[in-house]
Amino acid sequence: MIKKVAALNDISGFGKCSLSAAIPIISALGVQVCPLPTAVLSNQTCYDSYYMCDLTEEMDSITNKWKELKFDFDGIYTGFIASERQAEKILKFVNEFKKEDTIFIADPVMGDEGVIYPSFTEELCGKIKLLAQEADIITPNITELGILSGKGADYLLKQNAGDGFMEEIHALAKGLLNRENKKVIVTGIGYTQNNGEEFLCNALVDSKGMYVAKSPRLKGSYSGTGDILASVICACAVRGIDTQKALNLASGFIYKAVEDTIKCKTDVRDGVNFEKFMSMLTETEK
Q: What pLDDT sits at residue 119?
A: 84
Sign of torsion, CA 121 123 125 128?
negative
Radius of gyration of the chain (CA): 18
| Confidence class for position 160, pLDDT limits 50, 70, 90 | low
Domain that holds residue 204: 4-282
Output the average pLDDT for the chain. 94
The domain that holds 179 is classified in CATH as 3.40.1190.20
Q: What distance lies between CA 268 and its chain's CA centroid? A: 18
Question: Which pLDDT belongs to residue 163?
Answer: 65
What distances in angstroms separate CA 14 from CA 17, 19, 124, 268, 272, one per listed residue? 9, 11, 26, 12, 12
- 197 pLDDT exceeds 90? no
Mean pLDDT of 240-251: 97
Model confidence at 161, in pLDDT bands (50, 70, 90)?
low
Higher pLDDT, 24 or 221: 24
211 phi and psi angles, rounded to 5 deg: -120, 135
Average pLDDT for 183-205: 89
Mean pLDDT of 263-284: 94
pLDDT (tens digit per residue) in 50-103:
999 999 999 999 999 999 999 999 999 999 999 999 999 999 999 999 999 999
| pLDDT in the model for residue 13 | 96
Angle at which helix 225-239 crosses helix 18-28, to 10 degrees, equals 40
What share of the chain has pLDDT > 70, as a percent?
99
Least confident of 37-41, 55-59, 154-158: 154-158
Assess whether pLDDT exceeds 80 at residue 36.
Answer: yes
Q: Is the pLDDT of residue 158 over 80?
A: yes
Q: What is the pLDDT of residues 138-150, one digit of tens each?
A: 999 999 999 999 9
Count the domains in the chain.
1
Task: Mean pLDDT check: name the lowest of 14-23, 194-203, 274-283.
Answer: 194-203
Report pLDDT for 185.
Answer: 98
Q: Is pLDDT at 228 greater than 90 in this prediction?
A: yes
Higher-scoring residue by pLDDT: 257, 219:
257
Query: What angle do the packed helices 59-68 and 84-97 form, to 10 degrees?
Result: 10
pLDDT at residue 159 tops 90: no
Q: What CA–CA distance (Å, rounded) separates 80 from 45?
A: 11
